């Protein structure tokens, strides 16, 4: 895999080398400590290059002879609005992109109109790493971007800061969140021949190194639990299903946990209701919800969050063979609800039905948030820029909306209502796994899930448009985005952490 830059923090008076990054404010204004040599060079170049210090704009200059650096990269930080957390990630991403290949980079964390805080510095460092992420595991020398046998040797990005210990401490938090995000990206980018349910569960088991307790349930255990909705999806694949349960106990012992639940369909052919060939390859990412759950557990453990959190993912392959589930089959979920499977391609809700029921039944959580690449309909409604949010709880919903704005992993709430619930009433069983054709497809899927939450405060995030295939940005160039990790981590840090 392409290696990540190594990140260092030094005091502001330490000598700089390589590429020196200086932040510019409104109208190319520079921090007070900027030398005269740099100041006069930037003033002239800014006029010629029409550089006004606008957020994320850059000015790339050869350093003047009397400055101890090779290049100067001036990066704009001016905005009429206060900078959001995501803006700092973007700044880090822009710095990484503009200094690619440089052996050494020094970022002067100082700007006009206010210092750069330890948290902001740490977010830039995380943004630089996230930008450098490149899933090139399966590319050999000739097709690698740098044409080299070995992945790029990372440069060192050094942040010169007012308070070194504070920046280092803030970075341990941001580094953990970035590691969780990149873990989620890896899982989604991996092809399904490499990452079946068993292999996915093995990757999850490795989280024990971070102090996460991991339990993996196999087929016979799922059968004993009567998870026939999940098992019905898995039965068309020679690769057996798994249910993975992760526990991070960072909070008070007697406190009820919060819970995250994920759809982990390692590949979705559609089953007997088979999908058309075009873009079917993208269904290797149909475990994006599960990947985000694993990623957020990695983040919480990595930053030793003071919270008790459960992560549960249902891992199956939705495939086709002589034993595959048929349209019209009726299965009984763990909850006892009977389900008519009218379309085997509406499989995610069947997997989640049992995972959600199991979660609330065993753990009695304060709330459950599930993430799933659940419907094409949500992509039609919201494209790649918001995940669909459905919830039975206004407080949880508002908190997710706010966390979305804070992190840039935005969500948009859609309704649940008895009228939509009626659309999934079954003819031969309690409910059916599809609604009324194309109408309200994302909502009827959410109504289905609600049947299995037993009135626990719950939110469903439909990430079909955001977990993968979203346009590249300053801090993500990869097909898989890792969407959901930063959002849920933020939900925890804003509201559910013991102080
Ligand atoms: N995994 C798909 C949804 C999906 C579509 C995810 C596009 C990512 C990108 C899901 O299992 C599915 O097939 N849903 C069907 C439901 C329908 C049969 C009611 C859909 O959306 O078409
Ligand atoms: Mn499907
Ligand atoms: Zn699916």
**pLDDT tens-digit map of 269-305:** 999 999 999 999 999 999 999 999 999 999 999 999 9
Count of alpha carbons within 13 angstroms of residue 69, beta-carbon side: 26
Distance 379 CA to ligand 1 centre (A): 10
How far apart are the C-alpha atoms of 198 and 42, rounded to whole Å?
Answer: 56
CB burial of residue 364 (10 Å; 0-12, 13-18, 19+): exposed
Maximal CA-CA distance, the chain:
83
369, 260 Cβ separation under 8 angstroms: yes
**Rounded to 10 degrees, what is the CA torsion of 94, 98, 99, 100?**
100
The pair of three-digit structure tokens given for residue 283, joined into one six-digit string? 């269904």
Residues of the chain with pLDDT under 50: none
Query: What pLDDT does 366 receive?
Result: 98
> Please, which residues have CB less than 5 A from ligand 3, an ion?
265, 268, 286, 348
Q: What DSSP element (H or E) covers 292?
A: helix 288-302
Phi, psi angle pair for 227, to nearest 5°: -85, 60
- CB 462 less than 6 A from any atom of ligand 1: no
- Ligand 1: atom nearest CA of 373 is 6
pLDDT, one tens digit per residue, over 13-34 is 898 889 999 999 999 999 999 9
Query: What pLDDT does 381 receive?
Result: 98
- Length of the chain (residues): 499
Query: What pLDDT does 352 receive?
Result: 99
- CB 381 less than 6 A from any atom of ligand 1: no
- Among all ligands shown, which has an atom nearest to the Cα of 271? 2
Q: Kindly write down the DSSP assignment for every residue of 41-84, as one continuous string.
A: HHHHHHHHHT---BTT-EEEEEPPTTSS-SEEEEEE-B-SSPPP
- Among all ligands shown, which has an atom nearest to the Cα of 379? 1
- CB 347 less than 6 A from any atom of ligand 1: yes
377, 436 Cβ separation under 8 angstroms: no
Query: What pLDDT does 76 receive?
Result: 98
């Amino acid at each position: 895999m392409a290696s990540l830059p190594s990140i260092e923090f030094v005091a502001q008076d330490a000598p700089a080398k390589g590429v020196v990054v200086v932040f510019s404010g409104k109208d190319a204004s520079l921090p007070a400590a900027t030398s005269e040599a740099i100041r006069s060079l930037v003033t002239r170049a800014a006029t010629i290059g029409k550089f006004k210090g606008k957020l994320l704009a850059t000015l790339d200059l050869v350093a003047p002879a009397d400055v101890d650096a090779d290049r100067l990269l001036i990066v704009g930080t001016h905005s009429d609005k206060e900078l959001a957390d995501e803006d700092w990630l973007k700044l880090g991403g822009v710095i990484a992109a503009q200094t690619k290949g440089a052996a050494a980079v020094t970022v002067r964390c100082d700007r006009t109109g206010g210092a750069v805080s330890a948290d902001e510095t740490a977010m830039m460092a995380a943004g630089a790493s996230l930008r450098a992420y490149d899933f090139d595991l399966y590319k050999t020398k000739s097709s690698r971007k740098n044409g080299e046998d070995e992945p790029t040797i990372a440069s060192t990005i050094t942040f010169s800061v007012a308070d070194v210990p504070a920046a280092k401490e803030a970075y341990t938090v941001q580094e953990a969140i970035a590691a969780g995000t990149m873990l989620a990206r890896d899982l989604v980018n991996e092809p399904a021949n490499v990452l079946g349910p068993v292999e996915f569960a093995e990757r999850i088991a490795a989280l024990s190194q971070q102090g996460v307790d991991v339990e993996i349930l196999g087929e016979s255990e799922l059968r004993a639990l009567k998870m026939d909705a999940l098992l019905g999806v898995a039965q068309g694949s020679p690769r057996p299903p798994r249910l993975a349960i992760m526990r991070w106990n960072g909070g008070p012992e007697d406190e009820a946990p919060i819970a995250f639940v994920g759809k982990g369909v390692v590949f979705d052919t559609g089953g007997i209701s088979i999908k058309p060939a075009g873009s079917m390859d993208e269904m290797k990412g149909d475990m994006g919800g599960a990947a985000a759950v694993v990623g957020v557990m990695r983040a919480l453990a990595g930053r030793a969050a003071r919270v008790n959190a459960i992560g549960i993912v249902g891992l199956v392959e939705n495939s086709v063979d002589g034993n595959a589930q048929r349209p019209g089959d009726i299965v009984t979920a763990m909850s006892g609800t009977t389900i008519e499977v009218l379309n085997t391609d509406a499989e995610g809700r069947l997997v989640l039905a049992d995972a959600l029921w199991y979660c609330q039944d065993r753990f009695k959580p304060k709330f459950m948030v599930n993430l799933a690449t659940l419907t094409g309909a949500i992509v039609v409604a919201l494209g790649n820029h918001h995940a669909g949010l459905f919830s039975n709880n206004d407080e949880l919903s508002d908190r997710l909306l706010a966390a979305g704005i804070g992190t840039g992993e935005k969500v948009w709430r859609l309704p649940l209502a008895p009228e939509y619930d009626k659309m999934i009433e079954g003819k031969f069983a309690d409910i059916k796994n599809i609604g009324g054709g194309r109408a309200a497809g994302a909502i009827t899927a959410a109504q289905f899930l609600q049947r299995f939450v037993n009135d626990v405060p719950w939110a469903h995030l439909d990430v079909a448009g955001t977990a993968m295939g979203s346009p590249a940005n300053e801090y993500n160039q990869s097909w898989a985005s890792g969407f959901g990790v930063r959002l849920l981590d933020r939900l925890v840090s804003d509201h559910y952490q013991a102080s």
